[in-house]
Amino acid sequence: MLKNILAITGKPGLYKLVSRGSNMLIVESLVDGKRMPTYARDKIVSLGEISMFTNGEDARLGDVLTAAGKKEALKPVGFDPKKADNKTLCAWFDEVLPNWDQDRVYPSDIRKLIQWYNILINAGITDFSDEEEPTAES
């Protein structure tokens, strides 16, 4: 599911891939449902390609979001990440991903993760798996 959810640099929120054109992608905002074109000059990243630094092997974002969903019972996080202090953010993330690399993951990264998690939950998206994994095994 995360392969079709996109983050676009310079634009707030998350977007769902709707269609592909010859030189553009048509995306729909998960926040307000508005559709818009994005072009090659826009830096677009699929959430399925993102991972978080840990002390061992990096953790896929889908796995981190799944762990956050288990911790929060698939409900939005109970505090505002924009107003939370760094100690609160790090304590929350310790429960979600205990072996995270505290030197390479910054509080701003945790804020962004919580914001994305809340957007996905509010949009009714609770499946944080990658679509391509099952087809690779068959």
Could you read off the pLDDT of 81-102 as tens digits, one per residue? Answer: 999 999 999 999 999 999 999 9
Q: Rounded distance, CA 86 to CA 133, Å? A: 35
Domain 2-47 part of CATH 2.30.30.730: yes
Identity at 99, one-letter amino acid code: N
Quick one: pLDDT band at residue 131, thresholds 50, 70, 90?
low
Could you read off the pLDDT of 15-66 as tens digits, one per residue? Answer: 999 999 888 999 999 999 999 999 988 999 999 999 999 999 999 999 999 9
Could you read off the pLDDT of 101-118 as tens digits, one per residue? Answer: 999 999 999 999 999 999
User: What are the structural domain ranges in the chain?
Assistant: 2-47, 50-122
Enter the pTM of the model: 0.88
DSSP of 20-65: E-SSEEEEEETTT--EEEEETTS-EEEGGG-EE-BSSSPEEHHHHH
* CATH architecture observed for domain 50-122: Orthogonal Bundle (1.10)
Q: Rounded distance, CA 21 to CA 62, Å? A: 27
**What percent helix, strand, coil does the chain show, rounded to 5?**
35, 20, 40
The answer to whether residue 132 scores a pLDDT higher than 60 is no
Beta bridge partners of 7: 45
Q: Rounded distance, CA 78 to CA 132, Å? A: 32
